[in-house]
A and B are shown apart, each in its own frame.
Chain A
Amino acid sequence: MINMFEVNETNKMITQENLDVRTITLGISLLDCVDADLEVLNENIYRKITTVAKDLVATGQQIEREYGIPIVNKRISITPIAFVGGKACKCPEDYVSIAKTLDRAAKEVGVNFIGGYSALVSKGMTKSDENLIRSIPEALSVTERVCSSVNVGSTKCGINMDAVRLMGKIVKQAAEYTREQDSLGCAKLVVFCNAPDDNPFMAGAFHGVTEADAIINVGVSGPGVVKTALEQVRGESFEVLCETIKKTAFKVTRVGQLVAQEASRRLGIPFGIIDLSLAPTPAIGDSVADILCEIGLEHAGAPGTTAALALLNDQVKKGGVMASSYVGGLSGAFIPVSEDQGMINAVEAGALTLEKLEAMTCVCSVGLDMIAIPGKTSEATISGIIADEMAIGMVNQKTTAVRVIPVIGKDVGDMVEFGGLLGYAPVMPVNSFSCEAFVSRKGRIPAPIHSFKN
């Protein structure tokens, strides 16, 4: 039987160290909503989402109460809309009407984000894909809860540089469209390489076409728990350090597994995966950067950061894998800047630069995330940043992403406030030399040699 020590340990994690389940994300396929008539399509989408997800929020709250574990977000991911809208949408404006429908459905069922206003164009773009992509800036400005992502490369296909060039423009436009809110639109837009089909985390979540009709994916978190555990092993060897991270990740993931199974059983929807991630929030003590400091760095960004992060990411996976029957999504450690107080401190102290963050993305779970850059940054430069990040993902066979926010009207040294879980960020300097001629080239970068595994 469980003892008092164990019960207290669990409750201390929850009450003092910010242990929570970050999100229950219900993936819903919209492929059966397809229709040639835009109005019918919108109606089908609204009906399907509000039917399948009607009990999601209430069930989440019920589980929260019974186990005493906070479930911070209840969210929905959907089939990439470019697949769904192709027949009905003849122009970008048509797609915007779908975005509005998604926003309405999200509000109706009470989820805080709905992800999947997306297109997968790693090798080429159809007219439908392009219309969707061109509609993103407006769609994100007229909706509140819709999140968008575009996959522009993969290890198997290479990088679609036409899409990369277009996305530089789209990111900039999205910033312009939402300039009154510190260019918030860009915080809901992710550019991916090797995007997973079952990622439960926003803003990059979508319900891949390889998935079942509906599925429950759960994202766990708990940087504060790992940090507290590491406080007990200061000065110990790497072996002890790694064991401690692994054991903690195991415990954290078990809670996620329990919540996922319960949610799946109560909603009658199959369980998909657990995403084993250390996802920070702006709350004090809920920071991945603080773990890096606890491992032995003065600030995130100091020499040794990439090694420390690589170690952390790997041990989180090793500990978590055994705790769950199915693991997927992004799994690892997230390193968003604005959502992590320790990262913000590191930027303000001058310890962390965009280039160091790029190096860190080679070994973390995703990529350049929630980074505010000057509003005057050119489209070509943003495309260049995206291309670099996509190349890291393509060559290393990992997911990488870019979510940068060129904040219109702000420059290096200014502060940007996004609010809530999105946090705040100092605007970071960007290398000012041009890559115009490089990104203006047409076509795609071929897949790397190690993609030919057949």
Chain B
Amino acid sequence: MKRTVITVVGKDTVGIIAKVCTYLAENNVNILDISQTIVQGFFNMMMITDANQSEKPFADLAKGLEELGNEMGLTIRCQHEDIFNKMHRI
């Protein structure tokens, strides 16, 4: 199973997780793991998800998340996990 890593970075506001999760639920993306911290008022979240059941093509999904991020003043990136595995695991 190919997993997708979603990262959300930006100024903390109310409802970030809610909005991101709602978007993912609407697109049938299953969340496998969430880790989140706030450093000096900056919100930092990483989600590991399974987007294989989503009907939207990967590019559209990523674009949707990016737009959602823009609305809330956040940077949201959506990437296949392979790039991280390759770089950090031998």
Question: Measuring CB to CB, which residues of chain A are less than 8 angstroms from any residue of chain B?
Answer: 1-4, 6-11, 62, 65-69, 251, 254-255, 257-258
Contact = CB atoms under 8 A, between A and B. Distances in A.
Contacts of B89: 2
B23 interface: no
Given A7-B84, A255-B87, A67 B48 contact: no
B34 to A, nearest CB: 10
A257 B87 CA distance: 10
A257 B82 CA distance: 11
Given A62-B59, A66-B79, A68-B77, A10 B84 contact: yes
B85 interface: yes
Contacts of A10: 83-84, 87-88
Most A CB atoms within 10 A — which of B37, B62, B83? Answer: B83
B80 A6 contact: no
Contacts of B59: 62, 65-66
A7 B5 CA distance: 8
Given A1-B48, A65-B58, A66-B58, A7 B7 contact: yes
A254 B86 contact: yes
Closest 6 pairs between A and B when the two form their complex, measured CB to CB: A68-B79, A67-B83, A6-B88, A254-B86, A4-B46, A258-B86
B67 interface: no
Interface in B36-68: 37, 44, 46, 48, 58-59, 62
Contact of A257 (B5, B46, B81, B86): B86
A275 B49 CA distance: 33
23 contacts: A1-B33, A2-B88, A3-B35, A4-B37, A4-B44, A6-B84, A6-B88, A8-B44, A9-B88, A10-B83, A11-B77, A62-B59, A65-B59, A65-B62, A66-B58, A67-B82, A67-B83, A68-B77, A68-B78, A69-B83, A254-B86, A258-B83, A258-B86
Nearest to B81: A2
Label chain A's interface by main secondary structure. Answer: helix
B3 to A, nearest CB: 9
Contact of A66 (B33, B46, B80, B85): B80
B50 to A, nearest CB: 13
A258 B82 contact: yes
B44 A255 contact: no
A255 B83 contact: yes
A17 to B, nearest CB: 13
B76 to A, nearest CB: 11
A65 B58 CA distance: 8
A71 to B, nearest CB: 12
Contacts of A67: 79-80, 82-83
Contacts of A258: 82-83, 86
